[in-house]
Amino acid sequence: MRFWDKLEKSIRQRDSLLCVGLDPVEDRIPPQYATVADFNKAIIDATADRACIYKPNIAFYEALGSSGMCALRETLDYIPAEIPVVLDAKRNDIASSAAAYARAAYQVWNVDALTVTPYLGRDGVLPFLACNDRGVFLLCKTSNPSASEVQDWAQGGEPLYLHIARLAETWSGGGEIGLVIGATYPQAIAEIRAHSPTMWFLVPGVGVQGGDLEAVLRAGLRADGMGVLINSSRGILYATDPGAAAKALHERINTVRARVRAEPQVLGAQALQVRELASALFEAECVRFGDFVLHSGAHSPVYIDLRRLVGYPRLLAQVARTYTRLLSPLTYDRIAAIPYAALPIGTAVALQTGDPLIYPRREAKTHGTKRSIEGKYREGDRVVLLDDLISTGASKLEAVASLVAAGLVIEDVVVLIDREQGGRQELARHGYRLHSAVTLQGLVDALVADGKLSSADGRRVHEYLKDQDRGTR
């Protein structure tokens, strides 16, 4: 039987998406077990009615030397034949070495599937895919804290982890392949699911690492209620009662799974991106709530200051990726940022997309070149105007006038936040389209949903925004 068929059969038999990780640490094994293998066998006995798949991590066995290898052999032989096994070994190498690793996994250890790193490219992965009856899970977006140092690296606005997901489908030649995606990144799970509707996800990080089970299932479940394997290792292995711990997690998974499938709309990639962005802006105090006196002298319960982004490089990069998604369907030659808040944003976007950046000066330059627009451009170039947010649209039209006077063509304006105070309509009246990542009301709703803002404060902000909207009509 092919691995993927065996997996689905096991899932249906147990009504389970639970993957139990068999990662024994010798000094944490209770004293009543004489060997690592005995401990593993007890775990298997306690969880075999709940686990749809087992995942031993070979590192924990290699660390014990030859006795550990014997324990792995005993463990694999003990797992019921109808339950598939994925060996977590993260293998890869040049083609001939990769082929040897594949033989070791599939012929010597006789496991059903293997975790594989994609770093060497196609020829380092194909030897593992050559065994048609076995499964491969490619590392895509891992749950460790520094994963973003490599996996979030972007080209043309597309992060490396999404590029890996796209490559995985081409490498598998239309066959089934899985991805390892950490539970701590539900937005990435949703993003990848949007591009890969049928792919399997192996998801570690729920439990000890703090992953949100409901967010993961909302982001990753396929329409058939499958497609996601929730792994738990330490949370089950070292529980006072491993069987009870497995049962509890299995029931939590199925409760959320049933709720998600029953809902008419599942929280998708875009909504998760908004929630993640709102939370990050709130934590960086780019969005604050209280009583603020504005330049006009009026009072406001909310204050937005995206100039603070320069103090948070990772958040600035996240914001730049958001702009990049908004820019991707547009046609243009270069981008223009409005000083001052949008200048660092525009620079970050240009570094991600490779688009040339210009900006209109706020003050006339009275020396040197006396340029009113900085950067390289030609008359007739199509330009997209970038700013941090929009209220009435007046500052956008002022910047547009400066650029148009220089012979540039502008049709689109892109901002992070739309305060919904008439700016969109004002731009449209002058023939310009507005593209925004989130409305201020949507941002407030996301913070209320995440418990970062009380419902009462959320309603107060909404009433204020409605009053502002009425005042612009």
Query: What separation in angstroms does the CA of 136 have from each of 22, 80, 112?
Result: 18, 21, 9
Q: At what angle do helices 313-327 and 269-283 cross, to 10 degrees?
A: 150
pLDDT tens digits, residue range 160-193?
A: 999 999 899 889 887 789 999 999 888 889 888 8
Residues forming CATH 3.40.50.2020 domain(s) in the chain: 271-472
Q: What is the mean pLDDT of the chain?
A: 90
Pair 299, 293: CB distance under 8 Å: yes
Topology (CATH) of 3-267: TIM Barrel (3.20.20)
The set of long-range contacts for 403-409, using a CB threshold of 8 Å and a minimum separation of 24, is 403/336, 403/360, 403/373, 406/372, 406/373, 406/377, 406/379, 407/379, 407/380, 408/336, 408/377, 408/379, 408/380, 408/381, 408/382, 408/383, 409/380, 409/381, 409/382, 409/383
- The CATH number of domain 271-472, selected from 3.30.70.260, 1.10.132.20, 3.40.50.2020, 3.40.50.2300: 3.40.50.2020
pLDDT tens digits, residue range 116-160?
A: 999 999 999 999 999 989 999 999 999 888 888 899 888 766 789
Out of 168-177, 202-211, 451-460, pick the least confident.
202-211
Residues assigned a catalytic role: 90
Q: Residue 379's pLDDT is what?
A: 94
Q: What is the pTM of this model?
A: 0.69
Q: Residue 266's pLDDT is what?
A: 45
Q: In percent, how much of the chain has pLDDT > 90?
A: 66
- Within 8 A by CB and 6+ apart from 461, the residues are 289, 301, 302, 440, 441, 444
269, pLDDT greater than 80: no
Residues forming CATH 3.20.20.70 domain(s) in the chain: 3-267
Distance from C-alpha of 321 to C-alpha of 341, rounded to nearest angstrom: 17
Distance from C-alpha of 156 to C-alpha of 37, rounded to nearest angstrom: 49
